[in-house]
Amino acid sequence: MSARTRELFALIPVALLVTAGFTAVLITNSDQLGNLSVFYGGYFLALCVATHIVIRIRLPDADPFLFPLVALLAAFGMVMLYRLDEGLARDQANWFVLGLVLFSATLIFLRDYEALERYRYSIALAGIILLILPRFLGHETNDAFLAVDLGPITFQPTELAKICIVVFLASYLNERREVLVVGARNIAGVVVPPLKHLGPLLVVWGAAMLLLVFIRDLGSSVMFFGAFLALIYVATARISFVIIGLAMFVVGAYFFAHTAAHIQQRFDIWLDPFNDPGGSGYQLSQSLFAQADGGLFGRGLGDSLVQLPGCHGDFPDRCAILPAPHTDFVYAVIVDELGLFGGAAVVLIYALIAERGFKTAILAEDGFSKLLATGLTAILALQAFVIIGGVTRVIPLTGVTLPFISYGGSSIVANFILLALVLMVSDKARRRVRREGEAAA
Amino acid sequence: MNRQIVKLFGFILVLYTLLFGFTSYWSIFDADSLEANNANRRPLLEEQRIRRGTVFADDGRTQIAVSRPQGQGNNQIYVRHYPHGALYGNPIGYSFVERGRVGFEQSHNDELVGNKTEFLSVLDELQGHKQEGEDIVSSLNAEAQEAAVNGLGGRRGAVVAMVPSTGEIKAMVSIPEYDPNVVRNSKAFQRLNTDDSAPLFNRATQAGYPPGSTMKVVTATAGLDSGELSPSSTFSGRSPIEIEGVPLSNSGGEQFGTIDMTTALTNSVNTWWAQAGEKLGNDTMFKYMDRFGFNQKPQLDLPGFQLTSSGVYDGARLLDASDRIDIGRVAIGQERLRVTPLQMAEVAAAVANDGQLMEPRLWSKVIDPDGRETKLDPARQSKVMSEDTASKLNTMMQSVVREGTGTAAAVSGIDVAGKTGTAELSPGVNDAWFIGFAPATDPKIAIACIVEHTSGFGGPTCGPIFKAVAETILNGRTG
């Protein structure tokens, strides 16, 4: 069976799941929701099949499981949003379509992803501009500058910036990894990279600090820096570089945490969310209460308490018992409704996506491809960890989206472009493997 | 690089294992304590979405507490409403998300919201049933409540009426009263809470009053049932005499010769009963007080914090038979004795029911959403005295109403048995009591009445209230 046929078959359970999910929500809330849910499954399947055809034409050898796994997450997200509010699900469906369009456009117009290497400094510059854009054009939410207003829609540039930064790092580290390793010196038992090659890496550290202080976005900062350390490690095989980087980040974060009350507070809430459960600790304590409410199997789709009874207002901006149930805290709602099983399923899907992504990196032949696939996979996997970890109190809570599940156009669109790049790497690598296999036979 | 990539994947898996571990902790292992966390309003909010059962008066029609839907669909909630305002205020209490619950609404919460065992609720959920509250028919009688409120006529005090054979409470009134509907409002609640007259305080079950001469019924029971005394036992009725070295007088300084128990009860002769109490001693007195339900929380279906034990207090401490107590004065309802109106209704009810004290109850019937009924199965709290003792006491108490201090309680056409009490708090300021039951030959209702801080005496003050409530119940269809 060819890779693409496998992919097509893998999409069928996804469509069944999305139909079942929508139907379940509809049955529970039939008095409130329109009767169009049953068609969602078919509509969703049609979109996926259309995208599948594009992949079949452009990337016939690409990994067969990545796209269905992502579609599964998207379906999960759509059902949860539909359960929260029909309007949110409709918006998200539109973003989903746009994401697939840009995904296809990336496959069609970017004939060869290796061309990106030539523009790495332009791409890096674009990434940095995207990062600081919200400070100038954006507005403040929760003390952080996360979004840019573009007429009627808001746009979160960090989502796109993460791709730019990873492309740059993959390219840069691929070229310099030899000198970084060879020139490294042993200073007092610690292997330190040569100073003259350290400059651009200090820039990355600076960018992460900039994010922290200027944009006040701890989540993105952790995610970027994490991906950076992952790439340094894979490129140089020196764990000491990772430790140095980590130390720099922690020192920087510690220093800036004391200058930015916002970050200090995040830590305090993390250490004791019940200290002020009605005020600063409200979000996190409500998140934990929602998960406790779910238990092993959850309350069932549509059956948990998300809206304050008797409250009238625009849900979910107002009247939500758990704030931001469609974005930051969507994981808590999933655990509430589908229980530990639902939450574990989501984490497992991300783990499987990571596995396919890293597999792609291993199969790839050249350094840039390897590092690109590694970086993109790592940043996606870390993003999921940062937000789920925040919601479950593993780490301090920071506001990043849950990839492919959270409500939000920028996130969906950027992550589909990210997926397109990983699939392009995969196609090239697997085609080579297939041809080698054919030649041997 | 491949080795590093595999290690990186391993690291990601470790991170994800942490996510799984923490999710398990919150959703399973720590779930109970999170659910019990004070900041967690989910349980309360969830309950708002359940139609809370209706509380009916004893006729099964008059609505005491109803839940009204507000909003629609998933956003629908139910808000409690009390159609009769203050009439049932204290025993029934209230239930609001903003204010919590008290009274009957609290003690019967599980039935009213339809909480069941875990197994049954899982079955219900599988069948797609929404949780629904059960209706409760309370034992309270609308007319009897009104008669008691009208009888007290705004004077501070309480009335408790109880069916001797079943323990059902037909009337429970505490004045000043309050309207549970207004409790939802924070300011109104604040006002009620700080009001000097303590309207939120259920005098019928929470207030400890000196029982005065109504206590002589307990002393008589102890004397007769222990065999130490009989209706014809005699003591001197002269006044004053020394009890525990302190002179004790009869009401109005009235003098009596050597008289028997019937005469002493009919005329409420303090000196006679104080000597009887001293003869019986601490042990016998406490034995019978305990049988009547003193020295423990009343076994009524109200929350524990709204029930007060009756007994001899030293400050907040309940004394027992081994403590130094002026038992002669306990026998006539003085000393540091404090009793609730409910307790004195139980005393009357025990005599009325041939010596058997039934557990007092505010509910009669629970009706589940499918219409299945569970009726109260009356339970005996204790056998206080022999049938013979009860019969002798009954006869003597009839004479109190026929020719003694309690003539104001007489109901035309039927025999009434009772006992008055006047606890003098300071010169001219009394707590006026009457306890009794009717008809004496076949008791249908036992009633305790108290009016606080009045210049009047027990018989003239509370007798008419007893009469009004008793007549209402005996004439009513449900009586």
- Which of A29-33, A107-111, B59-63, B388-392 shows the lowest per-residue confidence on average (mean pLDDT)? A29-33
Which residues from A are below 8 Å from B39, CB to CB? Answer: 274, 277-278, 285, 289
Give me the sign of the Cα torsion angle A107, A112, A117, A123.
Answer: negative
Query: Which of B129-133, B345-349, B365-369, B425-429 has the largest mean confidence?
Result: B345-349
CA A296, distance to chain mean position in Å, is 26
Least confident of A310-319, A327-336, A393-402, B106-115: A310-319
Of A31, A289, A296, the CB nearest to B73: A31
User: Rounded mean pLDDT of A259-282?
Assistant: 82
- A31 with B72: Cβ contact below 8 A: yes
Eight-class DSSP state of B439:
S
Q: Is residue A81 pLDDT above 60, yes or no?
A: yes
Residue B479: what pLDDT?
Answer: 40
**In this structure, are residues B94 and B103 in contact, taking their beta carbons and an 8 Å threshold?**
yes
pLDDT at A251: 85
Q: What's the whole-number mean pLDDT along residues A274-299?
A: 88
Q: Determine, for residues A292 and B27 on separate chains, whether the beta-carbon distance falls below 8 Å.
A: yes
Which residue, among A19, A83, A74, has the nearest Cα to A350 in the 3D structure? Answer: A74
- The mean pLDDT of B284-300, rounded to a whole number, is 96
pLDDT for B244 equals: 87
Summarize the confidence of residues B296-309 as an average pLDDT: 95
Q: What are phi and psi of B365, to 5 degrees?
A: -155, 140
Rounded CA-CA distance B349/B398 in Å is 14
* Confidence at A30, pLDDT banded by 50, 70, 90: low
- How far apart CA A239 and CA A233 sit, in angstroms, is 6
Mutation site, B15, B29, B72, B131, interface A, largest A CB count within 10 A: B15
A383 Cβ under 8 Å from any chain B Cβ? no
Residue A207 has pLDDT above 80, yes or no: no
CB contact under 8 A, A233 and B6: no
Please list the residues that pair with B137 across neighbouring strands.
B56, B365
CA distance, residue B14 to nearest chain A CA (Å): 10
Which of A85, A285, A333, A347 to probe the B interface (max B CBs under 10 A)? A347
Pairing verdict, β A144-150 and A138-141: antiparallel
Q: Which residues of A touch B44 (CB under 8 A)?
A: none
Residues of chain A numbered 330-369 and touching chain B (CB < 8 Å): 335, 339-340, 343-344, 347, 350-351, 354-355, 358, 361-362, 367
- A260 has pLDDT over 80: no
Higher pLDDT, B479 or B210: B210
**Residue range B363-394, pLDDT digits in tens:** 999 998 888 999 999 999 999 999 999 999 99
Residue A75 region by backbone torsions, left for phi larger than 0, else alpha for psi between -120 and 50, else beta: alpha
Interface residue A311 vs chain B (CB under 8 A): yes
User: pLDDT grade, residue B124 (50/70/90)?
Assistant: low
More confident residue, B443 or B46: B443
User: Which pLDDT value is given to residue A231?
Assistant: 93
Instruction: Provide the 10 A C-beta neighbour count for residue B294.
Output: 23
Tell me the whole-structure pTM to 2 decimals. 0.69
| Cβ neighbours of A178 in B, within 8 Å | none
* Confidence grade of residue B43 (pLDDT, cut at 50, 70, 90): confident
Which residues, 6 or more positions from B205, have their beta carbon under 8 angstroms from its beta carbon? B91, B172, B298, B300, B302, B306, B307, B308, B340, B341, B342
At B30, which amino acid appears?
D
Of A31, A296, A382, the CB nearest to B28: A296
**What is residue B478's predicted lDDT score, i.e. its pLDDT?**
43
